[in-house]
Amino acid sequence: MLAALGLAACGSSSSTKTITEKGAASSSSSSSSGGSSVGGATTLIGAGSTLVAPLLQEWASAYDTAYMVAITYGPIGSGGGITQITGRTVNFGASDAPLTSAEATACKGCLEIPWALAATSVAYNVKGAPNNLKFTGTVLADMFTGKITTWNAPQIKALNPGVSLPDTKIVPIHRTDGSGDTYAFTNYLSHVDPAFKSSIGAATTVDWPGGLGAKGNSGVGGALQSTNGGIAYIAIAYVLQNKFDYALVQNAAGKYPVPGPTSIAAAANAVTTIPAGGTAGISLVDPPASAAGAYPISTFTYVIVPKTGSSAAVAAGMKKFIGWAITTGQVGVQKLDFAPLPAAVVAADKKTIQLIQ
């Protein structure tokens, strides 16, 4: 059975924080999405990225214990989170993809603040194949676009010498909802394969030429588990939690790092420019060869919050919660297969948080 990302978080307040992939966040508290104010909102509601959901579950419990503020979050996908914060039906959205120019305009002054650091991994289910098969980005692109159709194709065998591979048909499995994992994966493939960039491109939703589609990490994981020959892109925490076989993806240095906190941190530490003011994202995919230990499909997750327009209580509450998340909340994130934010990113985040009014 697949381990669920959606679990009720524990805390000391009487509000019940629900984290589920089936819909938006909900709470038994009588407070509305605007929260109530005693020096700040006592309930904050968000929705979006499924990748960051395990970490937000931990944060919700710890923050409620420390400050008696209920954080409710619905992991409905990055695209859904962007839609909900744009419509102001939640207090914050979370996305593994930065806002496009059109989304930023529609969101009317939203700030995007990197607050978590993780990775999208490539998992597979092939009877007779070992764990940790090696792939390049171009081979993965050809597998997901139907140019490579069997698991014993010469391109795959060449990367895995001495490994016996079956002639099982390759079945690509992709997300059907607006997904930050889709963005991270397609952004990486677009960086390393010009043909993929011109035919598919990078976005939270793309037109895949075939394969199976499913909603959320749980849906993709369920499809993968039941499909011999399946290959899918899924958040690394979900892959490890459910003990899927996963690929080692070649980076620009020609290495095949194991996806995890160390290799994710190496990708983030290769960043040389951090956009100011919460108006742009930071791409971590395909870092330079100088970052020899970097996993090439690493990604920030962003909290998306209105710069103005929230009630004073919600604005104060969001400033405090985000400030806590990027500092105290980073302690011990490795146990969930996240990496702590680099100090330079935290410093930039602190300046951006002050813009929330």
How high does pLDDT run on average in the chain? 89
C-beta of residue 46 within 8 angstroms of C-beta of residue 31: no
What 3 state SS string does 154-183 have?
HHHHHHCCCCCCCCCECEEEEECCCCHHHH
The amino acid occupying position 184 is A
* Domain presence at residue 154: yes
* Domain presence at residue 323: no
Domain containing 128 equals 120-264
Q: For residues 254-260, give the mean pLDDT.
A: 97
* Domain presence at residue 300: no
Overall domain count for the chain: 1
For 83, phi then psi, to 5°, come to -60, -45
C-beta of residue 329 within 8 angstroms of C-beta of residue 336: no
Q: What is the spatial distance between Cα 3 and Cα 310, in angstroms, rounded to a whole number?
A: 36
Q: What is the pLDDT of residues 36-67, one digit of tens each?
A: 333 467 999 999 999 999 999 999 999 999 99
Question: CATH no. for residue 173?
Answer: 3.40.190.10
* 133 φψ region: left (φ > 0), alpha (ψ -120 to 50), beta (else): beta
Nearest to 31 by CA among 17, 11, 48, 12: 17
Q: What is the spatial distance between Cα 188 and Cα 175, in angstroms, rounded to a whole number?
A: 16
Q: What is the pLDDT of residues 160-208, one digit of tens each?
A: 999 999 999 999 999 999 999 999 999 999 999 999 999 999 999 999 9
* Domain presence at residue 145: yes
